[in-house]
Amino acid sequence: MRLKAFRIENFRSIVDTGMQTVSPDNITCLIGQNESGKTSILEGLEVFSSGVISEDVLRSDLSLPKVTCSFEVPEAYLKSKLHPVNDEFDKLVNSLNNITLIRSWKADLESQMDIGGELLDYIKEVENGRKKELIETGEKIKAFYSELDEARKKKQKLTDKLNSIQIKLDEHPAKEGGLRFFRRKKTDLKDDADNTLEKLSESFEETRGELDKVNSFLEDNSSMVSVVEDRLKTESELESVNKKLDDISMRLEERHQTMTLLSGPSLEYLSRGEWEKVLKEFKSTVSKKERLEKELDMKTLLCGFIFDGLPEEKARIKLQKIEDERKLEYIPRELGEILSADCPHFEIFEDFGSLLPNRIDMEDLVSDNQNIEGYKAARNFLTLAELDYSFFQQPSSRILKQKIENLNTKITLDFQDFWQQYVGRHNKIRINFELDHYSTNHGAKAGKPYLEFWVKDEGERLYPKQRSRGVRWFLSFYLELMAASRRANKHLILLVDEPGVSLHARAQEDVLKVFEDIKENIQIIYTTHSPHLVDINKLHRILAVQRNDLADHRSTTVLLDAARLGDASPDTLSPLQSIMGNPVGDQEFSVDKHNIIVNNVGTFYMMNAAVKLTGYKGRIHFIPSTNSSSIPLMCNILMGWGMKFAVLLFHNDKEIEIARQLEKMVFTNKPGENENIIIMPEEFMNAEDLLSTLDFKNLILKTREGITVSNSEHINLNELPRNFLLSKFLGEVNNGKITRSNLDEESKENLMLLINILQKFK
């Protein structure tokens, strides 16, 4: 698998990076100022692999993090990993050559891996169709339950009425004999007309008939009543579970808020037992919620089948068949777990923990004390040597020393191969480690074991920190590469934070060379603000990182790809200025003049000489790029700074291609018509071609030898020092040794052609 894109949400200063595409050549460079969020991006990608976070990565609103990664997969990979489900799903699986995985965290800071992308869209589409059916059935259940409730109320009312009539009938005087009837007072007989035996009997029969209808309805729907009430019971139980889950989540959120704001380890220690109980309860409640949700869906389906007229027995058979079929289907979490097993492993490399220390206590290694400087490098060393703590418990010191010597030799030889192959150095560096014990003058540490590391070449033996920064960095980087590949046993994506930040320029260029050499097997994402760690000819590798409110260090982090560098702030892009070439001497980018970008320093000299020779007074300012390839990036910088600028290109294949790139990436409003892109006529392949071959020979080359090709071709064919020659020419123009009167008519016409072209920018 190969990482194609990533997205990080709700992680430290990041709200949402959006989906960011990484470089297709396996090296991606994150540029930006300190505190912009570059390191947070690397950390976010690292926890995609580990799944482990703490409260300190949560934002102030306590939104839970989510990291999404898209991977390119080999042909037929998905087919080999997933069993058939149905025609539609299987067809989709066979058509995909990429997958998207989403790592998300719950309130207890435990994570889960779900599938994303097209597979998730398919699952959601299926679920939405089923949800629609469940909603429709739910409405029927609601209407039926309302009717059922009315029937039960009516039954109770009719039953009460029937009982009342029965009592009246039982107590009616006509049923007690005439004597008692005639003994009653007149006041007792005043409603006798309304309570005759005949009317009571009629009312009784009428009420009993209505009650029979209600009972008949209830009896006819007895199966439905049973399943509906069973469903309602599950629904009620789910509501209780959801309420309980909300309560637990609130407690967890309060906990996160406390830990985020106070960062109180003592509070964490004091409440550890209590919170372990809460976390356990949260997990069991989430599990119960998921079980009840599935159960409720099945019971809703059963109700729907009976509503459609199926007898309960047949409805249950149909439901069982559906359950069996759905067991073959995948849910997002299941797919995520299956496919994440093969996805690349993100491993971070940073100076504090990853650079080899002089010494580290065995106690810190055994207890996994990652807060100790050099812990990760020492752990990498032991991983590479295939050692664990039991190795150092060898009772014979002689045998132990021999084994250590053998390991030192093996690791040394392996590193020397790396040092020569990837860094291009041939000095025979040796790596040694030793086991020793603290002496009695070390207080509480006396007698405790520690590991000590040494690095030596043909000279004396030195601690890692005593060696050059370059040697120490490359040695530690080698240990990281080798150990990570062994631990992960899968494709590696290396996250390097400010590689070689303390190294000199040559060593930093070596770092970039190593990246280039290993990129076929390992993807690399690194942060930097060093010009020596950015290849200006590979602009597609760059992602700019900055805060959306530059005045507020608490604002959110945003990412800008190469096509959007024009939106980046001057501070974000300023590290690139030195990559592309600063203006010469005391020249600066001009705010009140029109900046004209040219292909290199030699052309910069020639343009200034042309202005001086013609006496042109227009408000233009030439800016040299390192080479033509860096022109698009320089345009983005000037655009980001809001400056007026144009690009002057000469008629050669490379600069014609640059013009196309500028129309595509910078000046996108009017392709082919943009006045800010100037292409000189075809006879001018470079700036020196503005002079006639005669003037070029006499005034610049100062030779009698004739020139049979263009000036620029002559320089290239004879490998002449162009910048030096044109710089010297400008110097002689500035001090008056060469003036307009020294030029022939062809040169004068060419220079005036140039000035006329530049007139529109005055």
pLDDT, tens digit (0-9, with 9 covering 90-100), for 100-126: 999 999 988 899 999 999 999 999 999
pLDDT above 90 coverage of the chain, percent: 38
In whole angstroms, what is the distance from residue 687 CA to residue 598 CA? 9
Q: Is the pLDDT of residue 587 over 50?
A: no
- Which of the four pLDDT bands, split at 50, 70 and 90, describes residue 245? very high
119 and 99 in contact (C-beta within 8 Å)? yes
Residue 201 belongs to domain with CATH number: 1.20.1270
Q: Is the pLDDT of residue 193 over 80?
A: no
- Which of the four pLDDT bands, split at 50, 70 and 90, describes residue 33? confident
In whole angstroms, what is the distance from residue 546 CA to residue 572 CA? 6
In a domain, 546, yes or no: yes
If we measure between CA atoms, which residue out of 16, 25, 19, 15 comes closest to residue 6? Answer: 19
The string of pLDDT tens digits covering residues 551-567 is: 665 678 888 887 676 66
Which residue would you say has higher pLDDT here, 125 or 506? 125
In whole angstroms, what is the distance from residue 313 CA to residue 188 CA? 59
The verdict on 471 and 526 lying in the same domain is: no
The verdict on 463 and 412 lying in the same domain is: yes
Q: Is the pLDDT of residue 196 over 80?
A: no
580, 597, 627 - which closes a domain: 580
Q: Is the pLDDT of residue 337 over 90?
A: yes
Q: In what order do the strands lie in the sheet with 27-31?
A: 345-349, 492-496, 522-528, 27-31, 542-547, 557-561
Average pLDDT over residues 722-750: 92
pLDDT score for 180: 43
Q: 3-state class of 746 per DSSP?
A: helix
Burial of 50-68, coded b for 16+ CB within 10 Å and e otherwise, reads ebebebebbbeeeebbbbb
The verdict on 539 and 481 lying in the same domain is: no
Least confident of 142-146, 252-256, 312-316, 511-515: 252-256
H/E run at residue 633: helix 631-640
- Which of the four pLDDT bands, split at 50, 70 and 90, describes residue 266? very low
296, 331, 366 - which closes a domain: 331
Which residue would you say has higher pLDDT here, 198 or 17? 17
Q: Which residues pair with 150 in a beta bridge?
A: none
Q: Is the pLDDT of residue 581 over 60?
A: no
Q: Is the pLDDT of residue 427 over 90?
A: no
431, 460, 489 - which closes a domain: 489
In a domain, 120, yes or no: no
Contacts of 704 (CB under 8 A, 6+ apart): 697
In a domain, 264, yes or no: yes
**What integer best gives the mean pLDDT of the chain?**
84
The verdict on 305 and 164 lying in the same domain is: yes
In whole angstroms, what is the distance from residue 488 CA to residue 139 CA? 52
Alpha carbon distance, N-terminus to C-terminus of the chain: 55
pLDDT score for 536: 66
The verdict on 201 and 153 lying in the same domain is: yes
DSSP per position, 174-238: GGT-HHHHHHS-TGGGTTGGGS-HHHHHHHHHHHHHHHHHHHHHHHHTHHHHHHHHHHHHHHHHH
Average pLDDT over residues 610-624: 90
CB burial class (10 A; 0-12, 13-18, 19+) of residue 348? Answer: buried
Which residue would you say has higher pLDDT here, 539 or 281? 281
Average pLDDT over residues 219-248: 90
pLDDT score for 589: 56
Which residue would you say has higher pLDDT here, 438 or 570? 438
In a domain, 144, yes or no: yes
Torsional sign, CA 526, 528, 532, 535: positive
- Which of the four pLDDT bands, split at 50, 70 and 90, describes residue 182? very low
In a domain, 227, yes or no: yes
pLDDT score for 147: 87
In whole angstroms, what is the distance from residue 514 CA to residue 354 CA? 17
- Which of the four pLDDT bands, split at 50, 70 and 90, describes residue 189? very low
The verdict on 209 and 65 lying in the same domain is: no
- pTM of the model as a whole: 0.71
Q: Is the pLDDT of residue 493 over 60?
A: yes
| Strand pairing report for 594-598 and 645-649 | parallel
Q: Is the pLDDT of residue 538 over 80?
A: no
The verdict on 615 and 569 lying in the same domain is: no
Q: Is the pLDDT of residue 668 over 90?
A: no
The verdict on 592 and 548 lying in the same domain is: no
pLDDT score for 710: 93
The verdict on 158 and 82 lying in the same domain is: no
In whole angstroms, what is the distance from residue 623 CA to residue 594 CA? 10
Locate 332 and state its tokens.
């997002």
Q: Which domain holds residue 372?
A: 352-489
In whole angstroms, what is the distance from residue 374 CA to residue 372 CA? 6
The verdict on 326 and 340 lying in the same domain is: no
DSSP per position, 440-503: GGGGGGTT-EEEEEEEESSS-EE-GGGS-HHHHHHHHHHHHHHHHHHHH-S-EEEEESSTTTTS
- Which of the four pLDDT bands, split at 50, 70 and 90, describes residue 186? very low
In a domain, 133, yes or no: yes
pLDDT score for 101: 97
| 160-169, 254-263, 689-698: range with highest mean pLDDT | 689-698
pLDDT score for 472: 84
How many domains is the chain partitioned into structurally? 4
Residue 107 belongs to domain with CATH number: 3.40.50.300
In a domain, 396, yes or no: yes
Least confident of 293-307, 671-685, 721-735: 671-685
Which residue would you say has higher pLDDT here, 344 or 628? 344
pLDDT score for 190: 44
Which residue would you say has higher pLDDT here, 356 or 490? 356
pLDDT score for 64: 92
Q: Is the pLDDT of residue 762 over 70?
A: no
Q: Tell me, what DSSP letter sits at residue 22?
A: P
In a domain, 121, yes or no: no
Which residue would you say has higher pLDDT here, 44 or 259? 44
The verdict on 485 and 495 lying in the same domain is: no
The verdict on 571 and 625 lying in the same domain is: no
Average pLDDT over residues 367-383: 85
Which residue would you say has higher pLDDT here, 746 or 580? 746
Least confident of 16-20, 180-184, 525-529, 604-608: 180-184
